Each structure stands twice: as structure tokens, then as C-alpha cells.
């Protein structure tokens, strides 16, 4: 940790307060999902991308648009379809007759927050157009590299049950998502809250206020890099990841990138909670979201309702939890 003094505490307090203002705004639009929204914001503060895999009509698109508005980011939406081409995302060179030159016209990737809607409805060739952008924050078109704006984040949506006209996401593509999350159905009171707000609003459209700028988001992300984690807490995260490689239900376990994703998210999550140190509880809260999509269940268990998320949940029960460590320990 680079700074544990008063200045660091002040930065953490500001980042926590700013994060909660963002969550307050997004919660105006997405009702009753504060915990899930915290995890989405965790992925953004950690500098990564989030896959929202859930049924239609549960607020995934609304959440993406609301986060872009609250964070003060440019927002673009790309509707993924079977005929979508890589150039439809990256942009392409177009011949300009006025000066007889080729001019690059950027695609929707050139934005602050991209909603990749129904990402599993486009072929792997087009899905792969996101790989360089998500990992390197740049794209290459016809041999020329173009840097993307900072910050740049992808919130992608996918339907977990509909298979007709869909293409499974390649493992390399899944690995680029820091977190995979689901909102789930609201309870009765939350669903009534959604309906009553719509009636009161007297319009289908809704928006939230901008409470941050892109520069302030970058400052929060930099503050997250200073969040402390004790080596024992780091080894606890590694132990969970390594356990996926020996579990009998899994064909392939999580790579070291999974361990890194778990620790990176834990630091951002601790910051949002107002702490400058990571606890084992932070690791447990994020293990399923960061590791569940990085493991492969054995084919013979596909009909047994065994999922990567369920396996990771089971691992948390048998991996020994260290005591909580703070910077002064």
C-alpha cells in the first residue's frame, strides 16, 4: 500500500461518498437491486467490464444507461444480431471523394460506456472484435491502431436460457469480463414499486442525474489501487482459485487471471464500502461473480443442474478462512 495516512483516509472517504451518490441515482431507476448494483459499480471501479446474464425485462439495459448517466460517461448501445459485422463495432475507413482520401469513421466502441446488448446473438467473429478493445483499450483497423477513450467500460447483456439464434461466448471472451452477474426477479413489494413509479412518472422513459465526471471516475479507480490487502487475504483468494483446478466437478479451473480479478474487485468493493483494506468477507462476496464464468463444468454433469457458480459457492464452504487483517496488523 502506498499511503496509509490521513490523506489516504480522506481519499477513501471521498471515493466512498461519491460511489454511494452514483448508487443512489442508479437506484432511482433500477428498483430494489442495490446489492447487485454495488457489484456492477465494483467492476467499473476496478477498471473492468461486466456481463449481466439474466432474463429479459429485469433492468439490465436500464442499469447500463443509468450508470453511464450517473458517471458522466458517453453512452453507446450496440444491438448484437447474427448479421452484425466487426466493422459495425470498430468503425471503418470510408473513401472521401472531396479530397480523394480514406477517412476513418469510428464505431460505437469509441465511447465511455458501451452496452453490448444480447452479446450472445452475434457470431464469434464479431464477438472477437471486442477482445482487443476490452483488454488493450485500443482497436486495430487495417493495420492502424486507434486508442479508445478513457475510461472505457463494456456492460454486456445475455439471455441465459434462450438458445435459438445464439452463440456461446468463447472462453477467451468470457475471461475478459471481470464479473458476471444476475439481477434476479424482484419481490412483490419491489415489483409494485416499479409499477407505481411508472404510473407517477407518466412516461416510459426515465433518466438519472450525473453526479461524477469521467475524470473523477478515473480518480476513484486510482484510489482503489491504494487499498491494502494482507498477504494472507491474498493467499486466501489464491486458495479458492486453485481449488477450482482440482474439483472433481470441473473440467477446467480458473487461471491466475481469476485470482487477479478476485483481488482487483475486492479492492474496489472495499473502497465502495468505505474501507482502505480488504477482508476475507470481500473475497467471499465476489468469488462467485469473478470465478463462476472462468470454470468449465464436466460435460457429463450438464444435465445435473451443476453450474460454475454453484461449484464456486461450494468451494467457499471448505476453503479455510483467515482472520481479518487490517493495515495496522
Over residues 297-312, mean pLDDT: 90
Question: Is the pLDDT higher at 237 or at 123?
Answer: 237
Domains and CATH numbers, the chain: 227-329 (1.10.8.80)
Reported as a pLDDT band with limits 50, 70 and 90, residue 1 is very low
Lowest mean pLDDT among 132-136, 167-171, 247-251, 308-312: 167-171
Task: Report if pTM > 0.85.
Answer: yes
Q: For residues 56 and 290, give the distance between their C-alpha atoms in angstroms, rounded to a whole number.
A: 22
pLDDT at 329 over 60: no
Which pLDDT value is given to residue 259? Answer: 95
Is residue 277 pLDDT above 80, yes or no? yes
Q: Comparing 2-16, 150-164, 171-185, 276-290, which segment has the lowest mean pLDDT?
A: 2-16
Please give the residue that has the higher pLDDT: either 173 or 87. 87
pLDDT at 279 over 50: yes
Q: Work out the average pLDDT over 273-295.
A: 95
pLDDT in tens, 222-271: 999 999 989 999 999 999 999 999 999 999 999 999 999 999 999 999 99
Instruction: Tell me the C-alpha distance between 146 and 109, whole Å.
Output: 11
**Is the Cβ–Cβ distance between 215 and 259 less than 8 Å?**
no
Please indicate whether residue 202 or residue 98 has the higher confidence score (pLDDT). Answer: 98
Average the pLDDT over 16-41 and give the result. Answer: 93
pLDDT number for residue 326: 67
85, 190 contact by CB (below 8 A): no
What mean pLDDT comes out for the span 141-156? 92
Q: Tell whether the model's pLDDT for residue 7 goes beyond 70.
A: no
Tell me the mean pLDDT in the region 274-294. Answer: 95
Provide the pLDDT for residue 2.
45
Which residue(s) pair with 78 in the sheet?
116
Average pLDDT, the chain: 89
Between 310 and 125, whose confidence is greater? 310
Amino acid at each position: 500500500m502506498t499511503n496509509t495516512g490521513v490523506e489516504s483516509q480522506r481519499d477513501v472517504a471521498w471515493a466512498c461518498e461519491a460511489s454511494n451518490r452514483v448508487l443512489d441515482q442508479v437506484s432511482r431507476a433500477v428498483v430494489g437491486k442495490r446489492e447487485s448494483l454495488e457489484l456492477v459499480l465494483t467492476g467499473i471501479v476496478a477498471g473492468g467490464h461486466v456481463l449481466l446474464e439474466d432474463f429479459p425485462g429485469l433492468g439490465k439495459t436500464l442499469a447500463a444507461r443509468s450508470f453511464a448517466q450517473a458517471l458522466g460517461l458517453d453512452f453507446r448501445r450496440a444491438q448484437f444480431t447474427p448479421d452484425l459485422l466487426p466493422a459495425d463495432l470498430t468503425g471503418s475507413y470510408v473513401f472521401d471523394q472531396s479530397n480523394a482520401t480514406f477517412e476513418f469513421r469510428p464505431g460505437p466502441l469509441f465511447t465511455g460506456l458501451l452496452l453490448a446488448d444480447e452479446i450472445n446473438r452475434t457470431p464469434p467473429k464479431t464477438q472477437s472484435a471486442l477482445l482487443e478493445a476490452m483488454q488493450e483499450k485500443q482497436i486495430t483497423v487495417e493495420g492502424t491502431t486507434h486508442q479508445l477513450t478513457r475510461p472505457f467500460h463494456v456492460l454486456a447483456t445475455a439471455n441465459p436460457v434462450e438458445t435459438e439464434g445464439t452463440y456461446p461466448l468463447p472462453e477467451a471472451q468470457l475471461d475478459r469480463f471481470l464479473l458476471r452477474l444476475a439481477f434476479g426477479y424482484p419481490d412483490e413489494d419491489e415489483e409494485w414499486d416499479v409499477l407505481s413509479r411508472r404510473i407517477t412518472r407518466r412516461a416510459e422513459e426515465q433518466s438519472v442525474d450525473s453526479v461524477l465526471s469521467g475524470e473523477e471516475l478515473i480518480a476513484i479507480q486510482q484510489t482503489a489501487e491504494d487499498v491494502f490487502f494482507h498477504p494472507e487475504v491474498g493467499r486466501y483468494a489464491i486458495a479458492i482459485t486453485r481449488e477450482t483446478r482440482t474439483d472433481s466437478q470441473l473440467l477446467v479451473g480458473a487461471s491466475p487471471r481469476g485470482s487477479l480479478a478476485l483481488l482487483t474487485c475486492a479492492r474496489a468493493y472495499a473502497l465502495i464500502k468505505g474501507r482502505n483494506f480488504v477482508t476475507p468477507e470481500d473475497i467471499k462476496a465476489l468469488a462467485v461473480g469473478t470465478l463462476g464464468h472462468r470454470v468449465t463444468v464436466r460435460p457429463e454433469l450438464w444435465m445435473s443442474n451443476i453450474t460454475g457458480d454453484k461449484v464456486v459457492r461450494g468451494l467457499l464452504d471448505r476453503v479455510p478462512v483467515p482472520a481479518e487483517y487490517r493495515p495496522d496488523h
